[in-house]
Each structure stands twice: as C-alpha cells, then as structure tokens.
Amino acid sequence: MSVVRVQVPASTANMGPGFDCLGMALQLYNSVEMTATDAGLFIDVQGEGSGGIPRDESNIVYLAAMRVFKQVGYKCGGLKIKLHNNIPVSKGLGSSTAAIVGGIIAANIISGQQLTQREMLNMACAMEGHPDNVAAAVFGGIAVAVPVDGEIKHIKIEPPKKMKAVVAIPEFNLPTKISREALPQQVSFNDASFNLARLALLVAALGQGDMALLGVSMEDRLHQPYRSNLIPGMKKVIAAARLAGARGVSLSGAGPTLAAFTDDNYEHIARVMKDTFKQNGVMARTMILDPSPVGARALEIK
Ligand code: HSE
C-alpha cells in the first residue's frame, strides 16, 4: 500500500483588479494524506472546517482523486484520505482549491505519475472554474493565469521582499457561488478600462517590487463594489487599513476575508482591521502571512 502526503498553500485571489486571473500563494498549508487500500472509502478531517466537511463520496478531495484515476485508467480498490486543514473554509483563502489540487497531486502519485504538472493544473482549473487560486497553489509566488482554449497560460512573479498579507477573516462564511451571483452581467466601458489600467500597473509594480504603487493599482470596479454589500464594514476596513499604513488592500478572492498587503506595521494593521470589523458588527480573526514561494508539493511518499 502506498501512502502519499501532499502540502498545498492557501492563496489570495484577485488582489483588487485581477479578477479571476491574479493570485498569490500564502504560507498557510493544508495537507492531504492518501493511501490506496483494498476496499472502501475512509476520510478523516482534522483542523479548520472539520465539523462541516463531508466524509463520503461527495468530498472534494475524493472527487478530485477519482477524476485523476478515471483519466489515467487506474483501478482503485479503496482509498484512505486524511486531511489536516489550516486554511479557513469558505473565507476566500483558497481552501477548495487546496482540496482539489491536493487530491489531484496525491492521486497522480498513487496512480504512477502519468499526468504532467500542466495537465494537473488544467484539470484543477476545470474543477475550480477559474485559475487564479489554482495557479498560485500549484506554482507558488504570485500567479498571473489565463485560460486559453482549455489550457492555462501562466507567469510566476516573485513577491516583493518583506511584503506580507495581513488578513482579517470574518466569522461568517461567504460561499463563492453567492459572491459571484452578486456580480453584474455587464459593466461599463469606463469601469473595464479603469480595471485594466490598474491591473497592468499592479502586475508591473509587483514584478519590480514597487510597493508604493499598490494603493492606487489595487483599486477595482469590477467586483469589489458589488460584493461589498455582502460584507458589513468592508469599505471602512479597507480605508482603515490604508490609514494604518497598508500599501494596498483588497477583498481576498470571493471574500469575506480582506487582505492588506504591506511591508511594515503588520500587527498594527491587523489590530485596526479587526477593530473596524467589530465596530461594524463583524467578529473577525487576523493572521499575518508571508507569501509562499513554493506551490503544492509531495512531502512523503512511502
Ligand atoms: N476569482 C474568484 C472570484 C476567486 O473572485 O470569484 C474565488 O474562488
């Protein structure tokens, strides 16, 4: 029986204007341990979300593994899956991506490493629906990722030195589906051009480590204004974090977590974000997270 353990980083997607195409891996990891057995399915979940994560065939790690086995023609008698989760669930920090990517990589190792990293990336994006979290989780660093005819085009950018993400994670969950339903079918030409100018500036600034430009370049008009109705105090927390010294602040993925990107004043910004959420009736916890330079990787294969 082979046992495989894969570690996958959390990720913060969009980073303001980069809706569905920009993400950064964070040093907060889930691990997926998978063992091929003779019969049946056994799933154990420890850590974040352990109470609510299904332990049957609807489990997303299991579904991802089955997709790999089907594609490569591997006959699986049974599977033991042990999940140790550090990434908060349904908060906009890439927990479902971590589950999908972890499941795919572990299953690929168990079935004889028949898929390339790129094939696994494409499969994970097909399951997740968009590549921003996925490319960051697979490759680490900052990911610019764009689907073109079913293939993901990806460039990795090294995060600016000293840059950390201060994340304020509200107590309530915001399912991605609900957060995407809040988005309009159409946007104005002005808003589209506002975003693409800022995204170009943001990617260039990140690539050159120019933190001073993050404030203006992380502004967004395509998704955050609509999603702010779902997150009490969001605008105030963003403004307060900026005042406290954050270089740029964005909604993390589909939310409800807010991420402040900064190279200084980490604890102060965290406190201000938590307090401002509280003043708006939202209990939140904070974390100060370094970017993860590495993406998902197998830690043990026995
Ligand atoms: N880019 C996605 C969104 C991330 O904003 O909906 C959520 O997975």
Predicted local distance difference test score (pLDDT) of residue 2? 77
Q: Do 3-158+291-301 and 164-289 share a fold?
A: no
The alpha carbon of 59 and the centre of ligand 1 are apart by a number of angstroms equal to 20
Name residue 147's amino acid.
P
Any atom of ligand 1 within 6 Å of the Cβ of 111: no
pLDDT at 279: 98
Ligand 1 atom nearest 180 alpha carbon? 6
Task: Report which protein residue has its CA nearest ligand 1's atom 6.
Answer: 254
* Residue 32 neighbours by CB distance under 10 Å: 28
pTM over 0.85: yes
Determine the CATH number of domain 3-158+291-301: 3.30.230.10
Domain spans, the chain: 3-158+291-301, 164-289
**Per-residue pLDDT at 174 exceeds 70:** yes
Domain 164-289 has CATH 3.30.70.890: yes
**8 Å CB contact between 23 and 133:** yes
CA 266–ligand 1 middle distance (angstroms): 25
Please write the tens of the pLDDT for every residue from 47-99. Answer: 998 989 999 999 999 999 999 999 999 998 899 999 999 999 999 999 999 99
Please tell me if the CB atom of residue 13 comes closer than 6 angstroms to any atom of ligand 1. Answer: yes
Q: Choose the residue to mutate in 89, 176, 221, 228 for probing ligand 1, maximizing ligand atoms within 8 Å of C-beta.
A: 176
Provide the β-strand partners of residue 242: none
Q: How far is CA 86 from CA 48, 55, 164, 253, in A?
A: 6, 18, 18, 17
Residue type, 53: I
Is the Cβ atom of 133 under 6 angstroms away from ligand 1?
A: yes
Q: Is the pLDDT of residue 141 over 70?
A: yes
pLDDT in tens, 185-243: 999 999 999 999 999 999 999 999 999 999 999 999 999 999 999 999 999 999 999 99
| Residue 47 · residue 56 · CB < 8 Å | no
Residue 223 CA, ligand 1 centroid: distance in Å: 10
Q: Is the CB of 156 under 6 A from ligand 1?
A: no
Tokens of 105: 């990589």
